[in-house]
Structure 1
């Protein structure tokens, strides 16, 4: 794992991290996952939960939270289901009290008003009021999950902002960080040149804009 502080990844932003991972050939952008408040941000390491439909014996949706520590991102794979939630106000209040970094759901959440009032970041496919209790059950804790088409394993770094969520695989963090910083610096030079009166096309050509995300560039 990298020794780069996680807040530095957040400062770079998901767009720049996405560009860096494009150049490195790493798939990390979670399609369809968005913050329930556009001002929400999160950064932290994944603890994962995978759900499945209930059988004849009804399951539970949230007791795992007792084992999640401060700074953790709760990453919940509900297979993108839009018809029942796996996160609501009790979990939000508990997670906020225990300083979790946030929650990311491949599926829907409910009770968004409390999340917004507490400023507890939740990223999901949307909101829907119907409970997942007696509809889904926890199938696996701390195993691989899929969020927005991206594989997530415990310990991966998740970064979220108004543009969505990216997953930075733990073994590649240093690489992603270095490439993202390089891209950010070159884009800032383009902006500075334009502010000084340069035509955009000339500034882009000068600083290699069109190859910033090119794999192997």
Structure 2
């Protein structure tokens, strides 16, 4: 059951989800990944792909996996954080947009970013660089555990992206994490309402337990 699709969670920011992950003692806030193509918010199950340097004398492979991605999934590409060659470009962005794929997150870089912007396809990566990954890297595994730097991603985990970056929620803890994030969201909203009604920020925070919201459970 996809409890994480509950529309109540649509108000959540990644900051609130990150606090919930901290509260539950879970990793998940992926360092160094940012939106390349705008301010899109994405949320979907991870379709994972891991790349490796191409075998000597072999022809590298980059994007054929896209034929197996389901609508709404978020493609997570682990290119070991490489910034010297890309594993995502304009053709892939346009195909992914046409097929209603949820977005792409890259532990590495992308290229043809203007095409992705033009078709409003969400990409999060470590930057942009124009040099192709063809004949430099090859697909090593699909549907396996991958890395977004300091965060492990398993196929099916929930990926959420916004202007602050990317968080990864373990699929078997998704409802617990999102419910805690929603509780944080509501408390922060109450704090703001208290201040707007005349309270000091200090008093409102103390009353509603702001300083312990993310403290590990």
Counterparts of 2:37 and 2:118, CA distance in 1: 10
Counterparts of 1:214 and 1:188, CA distance in 2: 19
The CA deviation string for residues 96-143 of structure 1, in whole angstroms up to 9 with x for no partner, is 111100000000001111111111000000000000000000000000
Counterparts of 1:10 and 1:134, CA distance in 2: 41
TM-score (norm 2): 0.96
TM-score (norm 1): 0.96
| Inter-CA distance 192–205: structure 2 relative to 1 (3 Å threshold) | same
| Paired residues of 2:38 and 2:122 also in contact (CA < 8 A) | no
Q: Where do 5+ consecutive residues of structure 2 fail to align?
A: none
Q: What is the aligned partner in structure 1 of residue 71 from structure 2? A: 70
The CA deviation string for residues 30-88 of structure 1, in whole angstroms up to 9 with x for no partner, is 10011013412211101100000012212210001011111011100000001000000
Counterparts of 2:34 and 2:7, CA distance in 1: 19
| Paired residues of 2:14 and 2:166 also in contact (CA < 8 A) | yes
Please give the residue correspondences for 1:1-217 in structure 2 after superposition, counting only pairs within 5 Å.
Answer: 2-5=2-5, 8-56=8-56, 57-216=58-217
SS in 2 for 1:61: coil
Deviation at 1:177, TM superposition (A): 1.5
| Paired residues of 2:61 and 2:139 also in contact (CA < 8 A) | yes
Deviation at 1:5, TM superposition (A): 1.1
Counterparts of 2:169 and 2:194, CA distance in 1: 31
SS in 2 for 1:204: helix
> What number of residue pairs does the alignment pair up?
216
Counterparts of 2:6 and 2:138, CA distance in 1: 32
| Paired residues of 1:2 and 1:173 also in contact (CA < 8 A) | no
| Paired residues of 2:44 and 2:102 also in contact (CA < 8 A) | yes
Moved more, 9-18 or 135-144: 9-18
| Paired residues of 2:61 and 2:135 also in contact (CA < 8 A) | yes
SS in 2 for 1:197: coil
| Inter-CA distance 7–130: structure 2 relative to 1 (3 Å threshold) | farther
Counterparts of 1:155 and 1:13, CA distance in 2: 21
